């Protein structure tokens, strides 16, 4: 693992002085109030500059992620740097379309006139990110905020200090007070949240999300909460077990399981339980070799607290694959647990590490009931050879997103909004959804002055009321058309 050029943790500027935070926020506020961040030119040039800075810091970022999480360079590039670059490219390619006013119909009764929606910036956004994908989860929301014409202040996680240091250098490289960074942990974030923002996007756990939401309520600031939870995978007897095991093992052990949408546990039809476990064992060996400790492709646990939390999960159930640990290097082998019950520690909370419980169920209905007995998850995975199984699962459950016969990949499509529901979060971003999250949808109705009938104005009269009643209840031709189309769709299944 190369860490060339990285400063030792002891030398890192770990926190912005509390007294300086107001200055970062007010500089962003001034930039937003001046109106300069609204222009297309500012948005495009800032995003292009940001892209160049990310590319210029590529090696530093890869080294930082290796230092913080032993993140393999492949994973660091694909899931962080590449993800950000693709997101900026997609945003730049579509920005004109997203910024264009959206024409909407005006019912006949409100003619002559026209209507449209303008997406305008909210003002100053705040983005608070966690440590597991510390670069991507900070910069991708910041890209959306900038694209929507906002000033923005980012707060990387203090638990990935090298990544935070490089990200701060990247933002400093923009040399624009409209885009700022605050470094630090609880104290600094608490201070940051006393300031008024026009939108806060927080990614992390549900406990802190409640702190963020309470602080936001003081200023009536809208929030997007990107949280986690136990994302289940369901495997039916008709699934291709080799493919399912490969995609499950990849999604689970990527970043050593420290991925918000990692499959948390597997519910598998009893008849194929043992075969699935055998296939998972084979995949772990293929991916990481006979001793995964020596594999360069497996990340480590972020800190001692998380390591000890995860180690305790191995004490209940049967270790069917893996199970080795090493506290000095915070190594936990890719592990599959069987004979796990809902009362075991592994099922009490989100695992967020390389431990995969595989639980046998007797039917798809039992699996659906199991999922529905818990909070709505961030992601849900179904593996089956029968499309009606997927349809049944999707119709009978709720989750932030679904990936059929796969894991993780649904978040890579910028055309799909990414966000949770219930305990797994509120709101969404990625691509157009991110642009919309950081925009106000402003309704504009333009009226012609050529006609100005006195019908709506006082003095009112019985005859005016009769005419208004008739006019307002007149069916709009567009509604009639929509009703007809709906009927046709239902008839054609
Ligand atoms: P974390 O500890 O890095 O915390 C996230 C942010 O909150 C950090 O910037 C931190 O400084 C700040 N913070 C922590 N305590 C605070 C407090 N008391 N007041 C104000 N700010 C505070 O990360 P984490 O919470 O351990 O992240 C892991 C969780 O995040 C998991 O549940 C995971 O599923 C979820 N997650 C969700 C997504 C998503 O996109 N939905 C992505 C990654 C992680």
- Give the tens place of pLDDT for each residue, 119-145: 999 999 999 999 999 999 999 999 999
Number of H helices, E strands in the chain: 17, 18
Query: 158, 260, 279, 350: which one is catalytic?
Result: 260
What separation in Å is there between the alpha carbon of 211 and the centre of ligand 1? Answer: 11
Chain-centroid distance, C-alpha 466: 52
How far is residue 94's CA from residue 430's CA, in Å, rounded to a whole number? 13
CA distance 161 to 9: 7
| Segment 231-243 mean pLDDT | 98
**How would residue 243 be classed by pLDDT, with cut points 50, 70 and 90?**
very high
**Tens-place pLDDT, residues 387-441:** 999 999 999 999 999 999 999 999 999 999 999 999 999 999 999 999 999 999 9
Residue 81 Cα to ligand 1 middle (Å): 20
Query: Cα dihedral sign for 333, 336, 339, 340?
Result: positive
pLDDT at 471: 84
Please compute the mean of the pLDDT values over residues 111-115 and round it to a whole number: 92
Q: Are 73 and 103 in contact (CB under 8 A)?
A: no
Mutate to test the pocket of ligand 1, among 129, 138, 187, 208 (most ligand atoms within 8 A of CB): 208
Q: Which CATH architecture has domain 9-227+430-440?
A: 3-Layer(aba) Sandwich (3.40)
Residue-level pLDDT at 160: 96
Question: 451 CB contacts (<8 Å, ≥6 apart)?
Answer: 112
For residue 472, what pLDDT is reported? 83
Residues with CB under 6 A from ligand 1: 128-132, 137, 155, 157-159, 185-186, 189-190, 203-205, 208, 211, 226-228, 260, 350, 352, 378, 420, 425
Write down the pLDDT at residue 492.
85
For the chain, where do the domains classified as CATH 3.40.309.10 start and end?
A: 232-419
Residues of the chain with CATH 3.40.605.10: 9-227+430-440
Q: Whose CA is nearest to atom 23 of ligand 1?
A: 130
Q: How much of the chain, in percent, has pLDDT values that exceed 90? A: 90
Cβ-contact 70, 299 below 8 angstroms: yes
CATH 3.40.309.10 holds for 232-419: yes
Q: Which atom of ligand 1 is nearest to the CA of 228?
A: 34
What's the pLDDT score for residue 119? 98
Distance CA 457, CA 259 (A): 60
List, as one string, the DSSP characters of 44-108: HHHHHHHHHHHHHTHHHHHHHHHHHH---HHHHIIIIIHHHHHHHHHHHHHHHHHHS-EEE---G
| Residue recorded with tokens 């923002």 | 197
Residue 2, pLDDT score: 40
Cβ-contact 230, 350 below 8 angstroms: yes
Which residue among 195, 204, 260, 306 has the greatest number of ligand 1 atoms within 8 angstroms of its CB, and so is best to mutate?
204
Ligand 1 atom nearest to 193, measured from its CA: 20
What is the C-alpha separation between 210 and 216, in angstroms, rounded? 10
Give per-residue pLDDT as tens, 271-296: 999 999 999 999 999 999 999 999 99
Residue nearest to atom 14 of ligand 1 (CA): 186
- Checking if the pLDDT of 20 tops 60, the result is yes
| Distance, CA of 395 to CA of 244 (rounded, Å) | 21
Please indicate whether residue 260 is annotated as part of the active site: yes
Under the banding of pLDDT at 50, 70 and 90, the label for residue 13 is: low
Phi, psi torsion values for 17, nearest 5 degrees: -55, 135
CB 440 within 8 A of CB 153: no
Per residue in 171-199, pLDDT (tens digit) is: 999 999 999 999 999 999 999 999 999 99
> How remote is the CA of residue 157 from the centroid of ligand 1, in Å?
8
Q: Is pLDDT of 9 > 80?
A: no
Check pLDDT > 60 for residue 1.
no
Partners of 119 in the β-ladder = 441
Q: How much is the mean pLDDT over the chain?
A: 95
* pLDDT of 50 higher than 60: yes
**Burial of 208 by CB count in 10 Å (0-12 exposed, 13-18 middle, 19+ buried)?**
middle
Nearest CA to ligand 1 atom 13: 186
Residue 1, burial from CB neighbour count under 10 angstroms (0-12, 13-18, 19+)? exposed
Do the Cβ atoms of 258 and 302 come closer than 8 Å? yes
**Per-residue pLDDT for 6 more than 80?**
no
Cα radius of gyration rounded to whole Å, the chain:
26
Q: What is the pLDDT of residue 55?
A: 98
Q: Is the pLDDT of residue 261 over 50?
A: yes
Q: Looking at ligand 1, which atom is closest to the CA of residue 419?
A: 41
- Burial of 322 by CB count in 10 Å (0-12 exposed, 13-18 middle, 19+ buried)? buried
């Amino acid at each position: 693992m190369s860490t060339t050029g990285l400063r030792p943790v002891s030398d890192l500027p770990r926190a912005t002085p509390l007294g300086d935070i107001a200055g970062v926020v007010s500089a962003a506020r001034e930039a937003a109030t001046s109106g300069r961040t609204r222009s297309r030119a500012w948005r495009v040039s800032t995003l292009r500059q940001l892209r160049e800075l990310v590319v210029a810091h590529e090696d530093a970022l890869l080294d930082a992620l290796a230092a913080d999480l032993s993140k393999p360079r492949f994973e660091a590039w694909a899931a962080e740097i590449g993800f950000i670059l693709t997101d900026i490219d997609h945003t730049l390619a579509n920005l004109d379309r997203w910024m264009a006013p959206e024409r909407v119909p005006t019912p006949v009764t409100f003619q002559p006139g026209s209507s449209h929606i303008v997406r305008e910036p909210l003002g100053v956004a705040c983005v608070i990110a966690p440590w597991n994908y510390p670069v991507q989860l900070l910069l991708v929301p910041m890209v959306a905020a900038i694209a929507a014409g906002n000033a923005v202040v980012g707060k990387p996680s203090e638990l990935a200090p090298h990544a935070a240091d490089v990200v701060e250098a990247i933002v400093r490289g923009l040399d624009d007070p409209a885009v700022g960074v605050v470094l630090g942990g609880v104290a600094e974030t608490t201070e940051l949240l006393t300031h008024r923002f026009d939108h806060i996007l927080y990614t992390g756990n549900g406990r802190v999300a409640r702190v963020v939401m309470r602080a936001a309520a003081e200023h009536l600031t809208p929030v997007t909460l990107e949280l986690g939870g136990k994302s289940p995978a369901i495997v039916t007897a008709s699934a291709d077990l080799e493919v399912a095991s490969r995609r499950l093992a990849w999604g689970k052990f990527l970043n050593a399981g420290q991925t918000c949408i990692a499959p948390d546990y597997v519910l598998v039809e009893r008849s194929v339980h043992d075969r699935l476990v055998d296939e998972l064992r084979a995949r772990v060996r293929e991916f990481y070799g006979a001793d995964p400790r020596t594999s360069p492709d497996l990340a480590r646990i972020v800190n001692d607290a998380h390591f000890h939390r995860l180690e305790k999960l191995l004490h209940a159930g049967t270790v069917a694959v893996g199970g080795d640990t090493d506290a000095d290097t915070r190594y936990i082998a890719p592990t599959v647990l069987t004979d796990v019950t809902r009362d075991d520690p592994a099922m009490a909370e989100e695992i967020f590490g390389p431990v995969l419980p595989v639980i046998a169920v007797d039917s798809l209905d039992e699996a659906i009931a199991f999922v529905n007995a818990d909070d709505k998850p961030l992601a849900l995975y179904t593996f089956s050879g029968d499309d009606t199984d997927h349809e049944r699962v999707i119709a009978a459950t709720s989750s932030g997103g679904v990936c059929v016969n796969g894991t993780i990949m649904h978040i890579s499509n910028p055309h799909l909004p990414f966000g949770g529901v219930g305990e797994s979060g509120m709101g969404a971003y990625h691509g157009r959804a991110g642009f919309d999250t950081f925009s106000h949808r402003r309704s504009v109705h333009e009226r012609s002055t050529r006609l100005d009938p006195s019908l709506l104005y006082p003095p009112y009269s019985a005859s005016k009321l009769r005419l208004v009643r008739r006019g307002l209840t007149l069916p709009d031709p567009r509604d009639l058309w929509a009703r007809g189309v709906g009927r046709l769709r239902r008839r054609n299944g």
